[in-house]
Chains A and B, each alone.
Chain A
Amino acid sequence: MTPFAKDIDVATPPPASPGATARAPRPIEIVAALATGALLTFMLLSNSIMAAHTTPLFSSLTAHAVGSVVAGAALIGARLWRRGRGTAPPRPRGNVPLWAYLGGISGALTVMLTSSTANSALALTGTLAIGLAGQVVLALIFDCLGAMGLERRLPRRQDLLALVAIIAGTMLIIHARGMAG
């Protein structure tokens, strides 16, 4: 706690409502999620071309550099646009803990790990399939705990069924590539 903490509205993220059950996603959220997932396909294609020309490390380094510049420019653009309209720039709500800025470290570590596993006997197929398992297991734990200040929510039965169907379909598609050629 800094001495200024009491001066700032400590609007900590929505309190974890104990035992809250998840709601069904809205159509706009589903469309946004599917479209965002499609961006990943495109991003991975681009990054894999760079990795093939250079190294996985350089590919990730340039992706982060380009991403920083583009996001930074977008933030400046948004600020200028707001200034033009005379609206005040948004202030962070409450104290943002330092660890909340470390998502990028986790992302950088992911690159290190997957570039070694994809070149092992696991290949890309195994890396993707096992990675998906790790992703979902931790996500379910985080949801049940309400980890890191995000809302606690217990998955509904249909959420779990939906995840099983999506994972099964994903495994089929990953192996459809692995088995051909």
Chain B
Amino acid sequence: MSAMILFAFIAGMLVTLSRQLNGRLAIQTSALRSSFWNHAVGFGALAAVTLLAGSFWPEGASGAPWLAWIGGAVGVAFVGGGSWLIPRLGAAMTGGLLVAGQMLSGVAMDIARGQDAVLWMQVAGIALILGGVFLSRRR
């Protein structure tokens, strides 16, 4: 269990590390180019792992709906956006505001899909996040 906590913490740190590296690449090239390399290099690494311990066409792949296939296209804009933001806002505010956007849209999606959740906690969470975004604007 404590190993899992450590793994989860490291996974979070790797998100920041990845964004920092992509941001560095972007200031010398472009946000789109850094997004391309992020995906291409990541694909190479995952293909190597798949070669060792996975299947390139697992059962069920043919039955996956189209929605399951387009995440990577959205990811290009996500990584590119992060690379554009990090030289402007720094790692901490970039991470914070991305999470804010993720949570606000996440709650909207949960409600739209009728996902079970405790409503007052969602409302309080949204209020805190909007308050945080507002605070970041103050000089």
Chain A residues in the interface with B (C-beta under 8 A): 11, 13-14, 22, 24-25, 27, 29-30, 32-47, 49-50, 53-55, 57-68, 70-72, 74-75, 78, 90, 92-94, 96, 99-114, 116-117, 120-122, 126-127, 130-140, 142-143, 147-151, 153, 155, 158-159, 161-173, 175-177, 179-181
Contacts and interface: CB of A to CB of B under 8 A. Distances in A.
Contacts of B82: 36
Interface string B126-139: 11110111011111
Interface string B108-139: 01100001111101101111110111011111
A159 B121 contact: no
Contacts of B39: 64, 67-68, 71, 104
Given A33-B89, A58-B58, A134-B9, A39 B78 contact: yes
Contact of B74 (A22, A42, A111): A42
- Among A13, A60, A65, A139, chain B packs the most CB atoms within 10 A around the CB of A139
B21 A143 contact: no
Interface residues of B, number: 118
Nearest to A131: B12
B1 A103 contact: no
B74 A39 contact: yes
Contact of A150 (B15, B72, B86, B127): B86
A143 B122 CA distance: 30
Contact of B21 (A22, A35, A57, A102): A102
Contacts of B101: 33-38, 40
A158 B12 contact: no
B122 A176 contact: yes
Given A34-B104, A120-B1, A113 B10 contact: yes
A13 B88 CA distance: 13
Interface in B22-55: 22-25, 27-30, 32-47, 49-50, 53-55
